Amino acid sequence: MKDDQLLINKIKKLRKEKNAVILAHYYQEPEIQDIADFVGDSLDLSRKSSTTDADIIVFAGVNFMAETAKILSPQKKVLIPDLNAGCSLAESCPTDEFRKFRDKYPDHIVVSYINTTAEIKALTDITCTSTNAVKIIESIPENQKIIFAPDRNLGNYLNSITGRDMVIWNGACHVHEEFSLEKILKIKNTYPDAKLIAHPECQKPIQIAADFIGSTSALLRYTERDGGMEYIVATESGILHQMKKRNPEKLFIPAPPIDSTCGCSDCKFMKLHNLQKIYDSLKEEKFEVNITPEIREKALIPIQKMLELSS
């Protein structure tokens, strides 16, 4: 703990000297969330990265998030503390395969989840996040056909909510795909008053059983406004840190996955970052995220449309 505090002090000093900002996703470890200048979900972080006046952005998230920051702020140096912080959902949508898929539906426009690579965004008409996805889909004329990528669970959820019949790419998140309804129901036996709250990337059985479905930030807001005292949380476990901070009197139980010795619902990519890597990244200004101008210009268009529609 003492070593952590020394490291935190060094990070704070270096951050000030270099006019740097640390952005962290809700799925990061608690100590990273606590040292960050801003903590949020994908939409929050997109907005923040486009408005910050810092010279350097250290992004404690996954690669596609750091890419989005670079797309929105090309003049800034964007760093990611661990290059291996990928995303199973983004990786489930390879560029060449998706281009061929898109070309099969020439009369469709493409709405892609922000959890995609810059190359996929460059093939997209409008980007969305789980926070604004319904609003984005409903902004598109009903007679306009849509391809949605890459998350099949979110896509099917959006079809059910909006009444659309979008063509959906067959991708998924390794965390949200693995929750066990059987284990959740066993927890409900122990905590009968506990409400199940779930991210729309979860599979349909989890969604059907849920008392509330929403984006990461929506789940957090729900726990603040709802009158309940116990919650089973079916999304990445990092968000429980903020839930507990804002509602210390309430009980939050991470929904367990099908196969896990620890009962964890952690993103193995998000959890690659730690305080030492953040310090090293800031001190040595590694690892810098770069995007070719051509890809950046194309990828910027759908992100800007999303931000305009979400304002």
pLDDT in tens, 24-42: 999 999 999 999 999 999 8
Residue-level pLDDT at 1: 60
Query: CB–CB of 113/128 below 8 Å?
Result: yes
Share of the chain above pLDDT 70, in %: 98
CATH architecture of 181-254: 3-Layer(aba) Sandwich (3.40)
Range(s) within the chain of domains with CATH label 3.40.50.10800:
2-85+270-290, 89-173+296-310, 181-254
Q: Per-residue confidence at 265, pLDDT binned at 50, 70, 90?
A: confident
HSE, side-chain direction, 13 A CA sphere, residue 27: 27
Mean pLDDT confidence for 219-236? 98
- In CATH terms, the fold of domain 2-85+270-290 is Rossmann fold (3.40.50)
Task: Tell me the C-alpha to C-alpha distance, in Å, between residue 42 and each of 24, 60, 68, 129, 131.
Answer: 10, 12, 9, 7, 9
Residue-level pLDDT at 43: 80
Helix, strand or coil, per DSSP, at residue 311? coil
208, exposed or middle or buried, with CB in 10 Å at 0-12, 13-18, 19+? Answer: exposed
The secondary structure of 202-227, three-state, reads: CCHHHHHHCCEECCHHHHHHHHHHCC
> Which has the closest alpha carbon to 300: 165, 140, 118?
118
In what order do the strands lie in the sheet containing 38-40? Answer: 38-40, 20-25, 56-60, 77-79
Query: Which region, left, alpha or beta, applies to residue 263 given φ > 0 means left and ψ of -120 to 50 means alpha?
Result: left
> Which has the closest alpha carbon to 133: 114, 108, 109?
114
Question: pTM for this one?
Answer: 0.94
Residue 291: count other Cβ atoms within 10 Å of its Cβ. Answer: 22
> Which has the closest alpha carbon to 233: 215, 246, 258, 259?
215
Mean pLDDT confidence for 227-251? 98
Whether a cis peptide bond, with omega within 30° of 0, leads into 212 is: no
- Indicate the CATH number of 89-173+296-310 among 3.40.50.10800, 3.30.465.10, 3.40.50.300, 3.40.190.80: 3.40.50.10800
Q: pLDDT by residue (tens digit) across 38-55?
A: 999 988 898 898 899 999
Query: CB–CB of 150/115 below 8 Å?
Result: yes
Q: pLDDT by residue (tens digit) across 277-306?
A: 999 999 999 999 999 999 999 999 999 999
Q: What ranges make up the beta strands (E) of 163-297?
A: 167-168, 195-198, 212-213, 230-234, 251-254
